Structure 1
Amino acid sequence: MLEWFSLQWFLPSQIQQFSWESPAYLYGILLLPLPYIMRWLLHFKSRQKLEIALIEREVVSSPVAFLRHIPSMLMLIFIALILVALARPQITDEKVDRFTEGIDIILALDISESMQIEDFKPNRLEAAKNVALNFIKGRFQDRIGIVVFSGDAYSLAPLTTDYNLLKTYVSEINFDMVQNRGTAIGSALAVATNRMRESSAKSKVIILLSDGENTAGSIDPITAAELAHAYSCKLYTIGVGKEGPVPFGTDMFGRTRYVENTMDETTLRRIAQIGDGQYFRAEDNKTLQEVFARIDRYEKAEIKETRFKDTKDFYQIYLMWGLLVFLLWILLKNTFLTNALED
């Protein structure tokens, strides 16, 4: 209660913190001086006439005479404080709790030798890493894991919501992580499915990105896809790369070398079909970004928000100050000082 009488409530910094339930009352404060301005103008005009009529006499204005205006000033302050109280100054503390059931997502990235081909800038793997990083940034409370594969496959990161850790893992992906040559698409799906086995998420998604055909591993891609489907995993497959001759390094004279690119789109389409997902073809950086953006839209969990508002009123403070000023006005209005001044 004692803090109500602090002058801090009249500081601009404090007033700026308020929100106002009925701010229209504040405009009334601007109108308060008008009657007194009109009264002063009339008094000034009559005073000029009086000085002309009594030119022989000296009109003396005593400073003490200004004390008679104190009650009027107090009444202005009282009305202003009441208007502030009616405007209902408040401070609202709003808290937002966001939650979602979440989605479990495994990113399976091909890091075979052919991912060094430069039809993407700077190459296929770096382009894939960049879109994967952006994909991770756009998720909220979804667990994401990473599988990398070449001639063999292994889990680089388990399902986690530690997005900073995931981004570190993605940034460090390189061609030396798997020594065996080839492209083990079936093994990659099997490793990803193994990570999903104990998942209780409402939606489980595997995104497999590759630029070739299954040439390694002991598990057939179709069999692996059926196994993933049995564990309720939705499969998206992305084929990266252009058909025909594509740039791949330089020859001994520094000239761009071209190699013939082949891709088993039929298998990638079949995998997506088995997994109730979709197959995409990306032939450049922009298309690859658009593919991940589409998957991102398809697999968005509904985010629910619960808002808590704690609103505290402060009109009592200005009402209390107003009553004190009103009592002071009554006291001065009926004092001998006021009566003496009027005489």
Structure 2
Amino acid sequence: MFRFENPEYLYFLAIIPILAFLSLIIGKQRRKALEKFGNPELLDSLMPSASKTRPVIKFYIMLLAIACLIITMAGPQFGSKLETMKRKGIEIMIALDVSNSMNAQDIQPSRLDRAKRAIYQLVDKLNNDKVGLIVFAGQAYTQLPITTDYPSAKMFISSINTGIIPTQGTAIGAAIERGIRSFSSQEDINRAIIVITDGENHEDDAIAAAKAAVEKGIKVYTVGMGLPKGSPIPVPGGDSNNFMKDREGNVVISKLNEEMLIEIAKNGNGEFISANNIRKGINNLVDHLSKLEKTEMDAKVYTDFDHQFQYIALIALLLLLIDYMVLERKNKYFKNINLFEEKEEEAK
């Protein structure tokens, strides 16, 4: 497990591109000033030891050294020991729809991208709770088993796209059933399944699956992605004006099935939440989840973090040493050496 002990120092990395940009502007102004002073070719002959590239190289070496020093200050660490600790929380399985209809752009940039942002925000608001991830289209698969490793959860979320499952469709019921089987074996703990979809269920009985979840003490929440008026579905890999069509050649319009999602949540003893406004929708969802009683459960966490700053600090030291050794002027002992002179003569 990798982390930074003082991640706030990483904000100072923003000065690196700023300094690089200022260097370009100053270099351009300097060249204009020299052109006003005299003929550039004549000035070069008057200053044979002057180098145009060495100061630039030294500057960027210095920038790399500064970047390494900033990372050193942030304190990179690796967790060397995995321990089981007691924490109070709940278990949450997120079921994300990855069918082609989630590429629709009635909410920008797309339903799927907006859903992934919503999950990011939800994970950021969790505290001591376990979270897992299921992806579904025509079939449902567990993408991430139940865990307290939030960084891993975000990593899995970032890699999701609508091509991850070859079988198309929207099997919400299968996703709920998969969620029921994906929780830990611990008893007497509150659990919730959050289904994030546009609600175009064509595959199974999602309401029956929600009722089955309630029988096992699991609440089912639904988050609707999309608008009731709908939107055409872009063809994956095509241009922005290429949309999916039915057998008759008509453009397919995918619409949010809000009634279906409300009914699933009602039978799942949960709530339907519209995520068109991500911040409000996720805050409402977190409020609902916070009302569930927290239960003590086992959580594997990394402890005994080892500092790794010395390696970055060594790189910074080497860069500073190189910067010191590289002169801004041409070396007088090597300025007359032409490595290509013999080859040029042979070519003649």
Question: What TM-score comes out, normalization by structure 2 length?
Answer: 0.53
Preserved CA contact (<8 Å) 2:95 2:179 = yes
In the superposition, relative to structure 1, how do residues 263 and 141 fare at CA in structure 2: closer, same or farther (>3 Å)?
same
Preserved CA contact (<8 Å) 2:107 2:227 = no
In the superposition, relative to structure 1, how do residues 254 and 118 fare at CA in structure 2: closer, same or farther (>3 Å)?
closer
> Whole-Å Cα distance in 2 between the matches of residues 156 and 130 of structure 1?
17
CA-CA distance at 1:214 after TM superposition: 1.6
> Whole-Å Cα distance in 2 between the matches of residues 193 and 266 of structure 1?
23
**Given the alignment, which residue of 173, 194, 204 partners 1:207?**
194
Pair member with larger Rg: 1
Preserved CA contact (<8 Å) 1:189 1:228 = yes
> Whole-Å Cα distance in 2 between the matches of residues 170 and 247 of structure 1?
24
User: Counterpart in 2 of 1:190?
Assistant: 177
Could you list the per-position Cα deviations for residues 204-243 of structure 1 after superposition, in whole angstroms to 9, with x for gaps in the alignment? 0111011132212xx4212211111111001111121112
Could you list the per-position Cα deviations for residues 280-338 of structure 1 after superposition, in whole angstroms to 9, with x for gaps in the alignment? 233x3xx133211111122126699xxxxxxxxxxxxxxxxxxxxxxxxxxxxxxxxxx
**Given the alignment, which residue of 114, 135, 153 partners 2:140?**
153
In the superposition, relative to structure 1, how do residues 196 and 242 fare at CA in structure 2: closer, same or farther (>3 Å)?
same
Question: What TM-score comes out, normalization by structure 1 length?
Answer: 0.54
In the superposition, relative to structure 1, how do residues 149 and 253 fare at CA in structure 2: closer, same or farther (>3 Å)?
closer
**Given the alignment, which residue of 131, 142, 166 partners 2:118?**
131
What's the C-alpha RMSD, in Å, of the aligned pairs? 2.8
CA-CA distance at 1:259 after TM superposition: 4.8
User: Counterpart in 2 of 1:114?
Assistant: 101
In the superposition, relative to structure 1, how do residues 253 and 102 fare at CA in structure 2: closer, same or farther (>3 Å)?
closer
Could you list the per-position Cα deviations for residues 110-146 of structure 1 after superposition, in whole angstroms to 9, with x for gaps in the alignment? 0000100112222111111111012111111100000
> Whole-Å Cα distance in 1 between the matches of residues 221 and 193 of structure 2?
6
CA-CA distance at 1:100 after TM superposition: 4.8
User: Counterpart in 2 of 1:279?
Assistant: 272
3-state SS, counterpart of residue 293 of structure 1: helix
Instruction: Point out where structure 2 has 5 or more consecutive residues left out of the alignment.
Output: 1-84, 244-250, 297-348
Q: Does 1:296 align with 2:286?
A: yes
User: Counterpart in 2 of 1:7?
Assistant: none
**Given the alignment, which residue of 256, 268, 284 partners 2:261?**
268
3-state SS, counterpart of residue 236 of structure 1: strand
User: Counterpart in 2 of 1:224?
Assistant: 209
Preserved CA contact (<8 Å) 1:103 1:201 = no
**Given the alignment, which residue of 225, 236, 249 partners 2:221?**
236
Preserved CA contact (<8 Å) 1:210 1:239 = yes
In the superposition, relative to structure 1, how do residues 197 and 227 fare at CA in structure 2: closer, same or farther (>3 Å)?
farther
> Whole-Å Cα distance in 2 between the matches of residues 149 and 107 of structure 1?
11
